[in-house]
Amino acid sequence: MEQFTDFAYIYDELNVHYDKDGIISRMKQLLGGSREVVDLCCGTGDVAIAMAKNGHNVVGIDVSEDMLNVATEKAMESAARVFFLCEDARSFVLNKKVDAVYSLTDGMNYMLTDEDLEKAFCAVNKALKTGGRFIFDVSTEYKYKSLLKDKTFTFDFDDEFVVWQNEYDEDSCICTMTVTGFVREKKHYTRFDEIHKQKCHSRKTVEHLLDKCGFELVDVFAGYSDKALGDEDECALFVAVKKN
């Protein structure tokens, strides 16, 4: 069962409460004067489009063609110049090196093993110029254990109804998310089912793999704030630079 197929077309509706403006503002600060940037696991493209409008040359990469279809349509509607590529985060290759790579909203949590995460980090390293920035978030153990484990969420919109069930295995640190949706098409509803899996990567593991893949860690923030990461923060934002 593929991820982000039918679900891609209602993804934005399910995420209306996330602080998009706050994330975009923070990314503008962290990217600074980086000219050539990559939005890795770009999803439906909101941040990529905003960064393009902020003067960056942006390549948006995602493994889901459906997510990229949505992103491309949004970029065209907003007259933003973003080049989108359908590639795997673990193996993407660019034709030239860039100043910065960022990956937001759980992109790295979809790397389900340490090996997968290492491959993604190494692919990013190869894409960056020396001294280039790598900015990415990971959802924390607190989020999976306290906010998602054994929780079911429902979303009821005018033309869609979605049930989102979560199971978290503390031994494997894998969160399994079963999504069932019903989307209105004229007088009828079409059902879709998707299963998403995310891995809770510890800070220790992330820092070890960054070093192994040629990065120097600059800082770790509590989400998209400028505060240090605490024990009850849902998201850790890592900022690293390529050493050589």
Q: Give the pLDDT confidence of 89-130 residue by residue, as tens digits.
A: 999 999 999 999 999 999 999 999 999 999 999 999 999 999
Question: Which domain, by its residues, includes 87?
Answer: 6-140+200-242
Q: Are the beta carbons of 176 and 167 closer than 8 angstroms?
A: yes
With respect to residue 1, please indicate whether it lies within any of the assigned structural domains.
Answer: no
Is 188 or 85 the better-scoring residue by pLDDT? 85
Residues 106 and 158 in one domain: no
Residues 107 and 191 in one domain: no
Q: In the prediction, which pLDDT does 1 show?
A: 44
- Give the span between the Cα atoms of 213 and 227, in whole angstroms: 26
Decide which of 178, 198, 218 is a domain's last residue.
198
Q: In the prediction, which pLDDT does 116 show?
A: 98
Does residue 183 come out as left (phi exceeding 0), alpha (psi in the -120 to 50 range) or beta? beta
Q: Give the pLDDT confidence of 10-55 residue by residue, as tens digits.
A: 787 777 667 889 999 999 999 999 999 999 999 999 999 999 999 9
Sign of the alpha-carbon torsion through 238, 141, 9, 124: positive
Question: Which strands make up the sheet holding 188-199, listed edge to edge?
Answer: 152-156, 160-169, 174-185, 188-199
Kindly write down the DSSP assignment for every residue of 1-31, as one continuous string: --SSSGGGGTHHHHTTTS-HHHHHHHHHHHH
Residues 17 and 136 in one domain: yes
**How large is the greatest C-alpha to C-alpha distance in the chain, in angstroms?**
59
H-helix or E-strand spanning residue 123:
helix 114-127
- 180 Cβ contact list (under 8 Å, min separation 6): 162, 163, 191, 192, 193
Residues 156 and 237 in one domain: no
- The three-class DSSP label of residue 177 is strand
Residues 103 and 224 in one domain: yes
Its pTM stands at 0.94
Residues 51 and 118 in one domain: yes
CATH value at residue 217: 3.40.50.150
- The three-class DSSP label of residue 109 is helix
CATH value at residue 177: 2.20.25.110
Q: In the prediction, which pLDDT does 13 show?
A: 77
Residues 151 and 45 in one domain: no
Residues 225 and 185 in one domain: no
Q: Give the pLDDT confidence of 152-202 residue by residue, as tens digits.
A: 999 998 888 999 999 999 999 999 999 998 988 878 888 989 999 999 999
Residues 53 and 72 in one domain: yes
The number of folded domains in the chain is 2
